[in-house]
A and B are shown apart, each in its own frame.
Chain A
Amino acid sequence: MLYDIFIDPFVQMYQMPDFFLQVLWEGFVAGILYALIALGFVLIFKASGVFNFAQGIMVVFAGLTLVGLHENGVPAYLALLLTIGVMGVLAYSVERVVMRPLVNQPDIILLMATIGLTYFLIGFGEFVFGGEPKQMITQELGLPTGSTAFEFGERGLVILQHIDIAAAVIAVIMVASLGIFFNKTRIGRALRAVADDHQAALSVGISLNQIWAIVWFAAGLVALATGIMWGARSDVSFALEIVAFKALPVLILGGFTSIPGAIVGGLIIGFGEKIGELYWGGLVGGGIESWLAYIIALIFLLFRPQGLFGEKIIERV
């Protein structure tokens, strides 16, 4: 028993390095996708203190809108543009209808409001586009398909899906441009001011409403990109919502307000989950992917309550 837990998995890793590398790659890709969802959470939490439970559903909703438009005869690129427009409208209405009347309410009320939004979007998406899973329009959007196999060692093979590589590249571009946007532009500076202190930001003439609409739109764009990447790996359906919960332990690890935290946290969860499932999961009957991420985050948090990049919290009275 002890051998199975502490030694055997490492022996396997050593004996089959190609399989181990494949696992690492899978973990990397999953981690990137978790990080992207977490990124959407972080954007909104930073600017408004709202823990946006609807981020997961926004991913599905964006993907569904894109595919749904294309199914109804809209060319792929036009559909993409229209979907961006839809996300803009969504951001504006959320700000106008939900955020603005609820400003200054306690965290839990805002959290509940976003869960209410989740219900609404599920109902709306299924009502308009139907509930059955759909195929992502990968080729029509000009995204690469197929895969490359690398020979490794004597007879091992590591297979990389092209779409995964594209996902990683797009994620990097997205994080970089968000970084530039935050640090170099006027709106970015206003955004950081709002994140620090709402009232002080208001008093120097920053419009909270405008900033919130912008971050929700940015989160919507991130959701769209995530939806495309994820949809290409499986199907677009509301079952993805449950996977979106995986972004939550990522947030715990990285902290609710840190963009680098979201990335690193995503990768840790991605790697940890895949390695744990494939090397240790069999010992307890498999399927531990559904909760392993939470337990990793929980144990981590017990030792470092401030998260990966947070400063040590000094309580004051």
Chain B
Amino acid sequence: MFYREAGQFKTSYQADQALMPIRQDRIGLAAILLIAFVAIPFFANDFFLTSIMIPFLVFSLAAIGLNVLTGFCGQLSLGTGAFMGVGAYAAYKLTTIFPDANVILMVLLSGVFSAGVGAIFGLPSLRIKGLYLAVTTLAAQFFLEWCFIRIGWLYNYNASGAIEIPHREAFGVVVSGAESSPLVRYFIVLTITVGIAMLMANVLRGRIGRSWMMIRDMDIAAELMGIRPLQTKLLAFAVSSYICGVAGAMMVFFWLNAAEPSSYSIQLSFQVLFMVILGGLGSLAGAFMGAAFIWILPVFLKFIPGVLGFDVAAEAVEHVTFMIVGALIIFFLIVEPHGFARLWQIGKQKLRVWPFPY
């Protein structure tokens, strides 16, 4: 009843190919942004910001990055964690070399390095396809992880082998390091994530996004229609890695404060891949939904026994969380292999015809 597009006529191609042609969708997005930028900062406490919102946004951005590559260009990658790591280490080195430069700029710049590394490891994609490619991206994962451990220059030869984020200011406010306020970090992460998401939404609906989807759906036909496979795939690898790199840099600068090589292990790659698959391949909104599910569910599960009054060892809770997450992943894959994004679409369709079934 509330979700009807009847009476909304489009009189120009411009209106017809807008990002959200339906008015109710535009209102919905505006409401979400209002909550994110105004309501949450106003009401949320520090715990909510640092343990839930900031990681959720960082993971959403990483999921968008992987979604560009896997969901839109069809190239399965298991090296996301390492590409995020490249961004983190690059940003760390940049801010070490240029301590006075704006650290937010450095974070955005760090993505350029991960984009380069991503493009190099994307080269085999010209000859190797499907699951074989997925396995070769593991080469990137393990090789880069090894670099993070062995190349002392990357972590300034710290005794601990970890990178620790120094105190940095931007626009007269402390933005990184232990003293920075969660609220400031939240705003930075939110702005970057929303900004990149919107820019990507534009790229994905235009010529470039179409060329990626052409490669994904039928690479031979795409090539016979004038798409250069290597350039197109490498661009997807570069853009995807850029976004993942920025997400990885934000992860350590605005969330964890410190990171060691194991922070960017294959587990992280899997985690982001789950977000993309459960959220829905080829959907930006799905990336946010997947990130919310995979990040917030375990946090939530941790508190259940305490709330119910059981006294369970923390270790056992962790094991059970693993089991539940694994089982739920299988469950959702069976229920809807196209992810939450598809469920959301079906829901909207139901709303559109409500109260009738068809």
Answer yes or no: do A and B interact. yes
Interface residues of A (CB under 8 A from B): 51, 97-98, 101-102, 105-109, 111-113, 115-124, 126-127, 131, 242, 245, 248-249, 251-252, 256, 284-288, 290-291, 294-295, 297-298, 301-302, 305, 315, 317
With the chains together, A55 CA to B153 CA distance in Å? 37
Give Cα A119 to B128, complex, Å: 28
Please measure, in the bound complex, the distance between the C-alpha atom of A74 and the C-alpha atom of B326, giving whole angstroms: 30
Given contacts A112-B277, A131-B315, A249-B135, whether A301 and B127 have CB atoms under 8 Å apart is: yes
**Contact B146 A123, beta carbon cutoff 8 Å:** no
- B227 near A: Cβ within 8 Å? no
Q: Bound complex: CA of A284 vs CA of B319, how far in Å?
A: 38
On whether the beta carbons of B150 and A252 are closer than 8 Å, the reply is no
Q: Which residues of A contact B334 (CB under 8 A)?
A: 98, 101-102, 113
Assembled-state Cα–Cα distance A302/B132 (Å):
11
Contact A301 B132 (CB under 8 A): yes
| Inter-subunit contact A252/B136 (CB<8 Å) | yes
Residue B354 CB within 8 A of the other chain:
no
Judge whether B139 is part of the interface by a CB distance below 8 angstroms: yes
The segment out of B15-23, B31-39, B157-165, B266-274 that lies at the interface is B266-274
**What are 11 contact pairs spanning A and B, CB under 8 A?**
A116-B326, A119-B326, A120-B323, A123-B322, A248-B135, A248-B138, A285-B150, A287-B146, A291-B139, A301-B128, A317-B221
A-contacting residues, B311-353, CB 8 Å: 315-316, 319-327, 329-330, 333-334, 337
CA distance A17 to B185 in the complex (A): 60
Partner of B220, one of A106, A121, A317: A317
User: What's the Cα separation between A239 and B327 when bound, in Å?
Assistant: 22
Task: Report B112-140 CB contacts with A as 1/0, cut-off 8 Å.
Answer: 00000000000010011011101110110
The smallest beta-carbon distance between B23 and chain A, in angstroms, is 34
Determine if A305 and B127 form an interchain contact, defined as CB atoms under 8 angstroms apart: yes
**7 further interface pairs, Cβ-Cβ under 8 Å (given A112-B333, A284-B150, A298-B136):** A109-B333, A115-B273, A117-B330, A118-B326, A249-B138, A287-B150, A315-B220
Q: Nearest A residue to B145 by beta-carbon distance?
A: A290
CB-based contact A116/B136 at 8 Å: no
Q: Verify A116–B329 contact, CB threshold 8 A.
A: yes
Decide: B124 and A302 in contact? CB cutoff 8 A.
Answer: yes
Partner of A127, one of B70, B220, B221, B319: B319
Other-chain residue from B139, B149, B315, B323 in contact with A294 (beta carbon distance below 8 A)? B139
Identify the closest chain B residue to A296 (Cβ).
B139
Chain A hits for B220, CB < 8 A: 315, 317
| A205, B224: Cα distance in complex, Å | 41
Residues on B facing A (Cβ under 8 Å): 70, 76, 124, 127-128, 130-132, 134-136, 138-139, 142-143, 145-146, 149-150, 220-221, 224, 266, 270, 273-274, 277, 281, 315-316, 319-327, 329-330, 333-334, 337
Tell whether, in the assembled complex, residue B316 and residue A127 are in contact, meaning their CB atoms are under 8 Å apart: yes
Contacts of A109 in B (CB 8 A): 277, 333, 337
The answer to whether B330 and A116 have CB atoms under 8 Å apart is yes
B333 touches A305 (CB 8 A): no
From A102, A123, A294, contact of B333 by CB (8 A): A102
A45 (CB) vs chain B CBs: closest residue: B131
Cβ contact within 8 Å between B319 and A98? no
A284–B149 alpha-carbon span in the complex (Å): 12
Cα separation A272 to B337 with both chains bound (whole Å): 40
Which chain B residues lie closer than 8 Å to A245 at the CB level?
138, 142, 266
Complex: A10 Cα to B127 Cα, angstroms = 33
Separation of A245 and B324 alpha carbons in the complex (Å): 23
The reply to whether B327 and A120 contact each other, CB–CB distance below 8 Å, is: yes
Chain A residues positioned under 8 Å from B136 (CB to CB): 252, 294, 297-298, 301
CA of A177 to CA of B179, assembled, Å: 65
Contact B322 A291 (CB under 8 A): no
Q: How far is the CB of B137 from chain A (nearest CB, A)?
A: 9
Chain A positions within 8 Å of B149 at CB level:
287
Bound CA–CA A112/B322 (angstroms): 15
Q: Which residues of B contact A116 (CB under 8 A)?
A: 326-327, 329-330, 333
Q: Indicate whether A290 sits within 8 Å of B323 (C-beta atoms), given known contacts A109-B277, A120-B330, A302-B124.
A: no
Bound form: Cα–Cα A251–B329 in Å: 26
